[in-house]
């Protein structure tokens, strides 16, 4: 009886351990690849014989890779700001129930980009970009990345506007407050954590986007994701360089997430 009683607990622990290995195992190997200077896997596959920062030094000495890193973060910041501005009015309309007839339509439109594969979206944008002269341009990549970021930004902003008591706006108007005062005194303070969540998710989406960048921006516009592909076998085999670039992809998002959570006091994953 006792064995039967404890077996579910042991099974749960085993599943959690396997899940942890499944999630963190690749991250561990990626980190090892980024610091491995000498690694004979036939002799010792679990840890390199010599570690160091040689590959990180190479990244910041190579002008082509450094430009890709710089472009990645400039594009991601631009995408976050542009997508928030693009979604603000539709999210306000849906979140506050101003146009109830269009609410379901706008909610559906906000989710559509998430159902479209990036490669299909890229192929659809190719002739449009060619006609408009946006192929291989900074603005073209920003617009394409923004389409994929819309669902994350739109949903967070809708939740933010849903959390605002309509009586606050009515009371402010009764007291003679104008639009700018209402936005500054009511909307911005309440929406701050939702704006932060939307910005982080759009930023993370953009820095990881490979397919749209490759189809619409490469070779003039190259981001870290494209460089990882090139070094992970797409053009040549350099797993250590690919691992270092992958670490650079992950760390900024984690730092930004931590800083914003500390500033707002709200866990962004729950927003």
Return the top range by mean pLDDT from 87-101, 108-122, 130-144, 235-249. Answer: 130-144
Higher per-residue confidence, 182 vs 58? 58
Least confident of 49-58, 80-89, 257-266: 257-266
- Reference 30, options 205, 253, 241, 223; nearest CA is 241
Q: 10 Å Cβ neighbour count for 228?
A: 21
Question: Region 211-217: what's the mean pLDDT?
Answer: 94
| Tokens describing residue 145 | 């990345």
- What count of Cα atoms within 13 Å lies in the side-chain half-sphere of residue 174? 6
* pLDDT value for 270: 46
Q: Is the bond preceding 219 in cis, omega lying within 30 degrees of 0?
A: yes
Q: Which residue has the higher pLDDT, 110 or 59?
A: 59
Q: Which residues contact 153 (CB under 8 A, 6 or more apart)?
A: 83, 84, 86, 87, 91, 198, 201, 202
Q: Name the percent of the chain lying above pLDDT 70.
A: 88
Q: What's the pLDDT score for residue 271?
A: 47
HEC secondary structure over the chain: CHHHHHHHHHHHHHHHHHHHHHHHHHHHHHHHHHHEEECCCCCCCCCCCEECCHHHHHHHHCHHHHHHHHHHHHHHHHHHHHHHHHHHHHHHHHHCCCCHHHHHHHHHHHHHHHHCCHHHHHHHHHHHHHHHCCCCCHHHHHHHHHHHHHHHHHHHHHHHHHCCCHHHHHHHHHCCCCHHHHHHHHHHHHHHHHHHHHHHHHHHHHHHCCHHHHHHCCCCCCCHHHHHHHHECCCCECHHHHHHHHHHHHHHHHHHHHHHHHHHCCCHHHC
Read off the pLDDT band of 250 (50, 70, 90): confident
170-178 long-range Cβ contacts below 8 angstroms, 24+ apart:
none
Please report which confidence band the pLDDT of residue 227 belongs to, taking 50, 70 and 90 as the band edges.
Answer: very high
Question: In the predicted model, is pLDDT for residue 201 greater than 60?
Answer: yes
Q: Tens digits of per-residue pLDDT, 165-197?
A: 877 777 877 777 777 777 777 888 888 888 988
pLDDT surpassing 60 at residue 155? yes
Walk me through the domains of the chain, giving residue ranges and CATH numbers: 2-51 (no CATH), 61-270 (1.10.3720.10)
Using an 8 Å Cβ cutoff, are 153 and 271 in contact?
Answer: no
Confidence of residue 19 (pLDDT cuts 50, 70, 90): very high
Mean pLDDT to the nearest integer, 114-142: 92
Taking residues 83-109, what's their average pLDDT? 79
Tokens 């960048």 correspond to 213
**Mean pLDDT over each residue of the chain, to the nearest integer:** 84
Model confidence pTM above 0.85: no
Quote the CA–CA distance of 77 and 88 in Å, as a whole number.
17
């Amino acid at each position: 009886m006792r064995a039967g009683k404890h077996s579910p607990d042991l099974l749960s622990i085993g599943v959690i351990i396997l899940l942890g290995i499944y999630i963190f195992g690749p991250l561990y190997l990626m980190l090892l690849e980024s610091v491995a200077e000498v690694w004979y896997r036939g002799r010792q596959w679990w840890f390199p014989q010599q570690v160091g920062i040689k590959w990180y030094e190479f990244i910041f000495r190579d002008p082509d890779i450094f430009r890709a890193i710089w472009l990645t973060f400039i594009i991601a910041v631009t995408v976050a700001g542009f997508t928030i501005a693009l979604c603000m009015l539709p999210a306000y309309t849906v979140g506050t129930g101003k146009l109830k007839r269009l609410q379901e339509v706008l909610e559906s439109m906000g989710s559509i980009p998430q159902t479209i594969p990036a490669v299909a979206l890229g192929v659809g944008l190719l002739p449009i970009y060619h006609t408009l002269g946006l192929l291989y341009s900074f603005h073209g990549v920003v617009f394409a990345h923004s389409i994929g970021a819309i669902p994350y930004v739109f949903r967070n902003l809708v939740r933010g506007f849903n959390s605002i008591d309509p009586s606050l706006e009515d009371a402010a108007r009764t007291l003679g407050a104008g639009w700018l005062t209402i936005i500054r005194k009511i909307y911005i303070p309440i929406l701050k954590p939702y704006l932060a969540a939307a910005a982080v998710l759009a930023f993370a989406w953009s820095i990881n986007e490979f397919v749209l960048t490759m189809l619409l921006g490469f070779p003039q516009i190259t981001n870290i994701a494209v460089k990882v592909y090139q070094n992970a076998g797409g053009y040549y085999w350099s797993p250590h360089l690919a691992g270092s670039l992958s670490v650079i992809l992950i760390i900024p998002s984690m730092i930004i997430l931590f800083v914003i959570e500390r500033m707002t006091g709200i866990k962004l994953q729950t927003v």
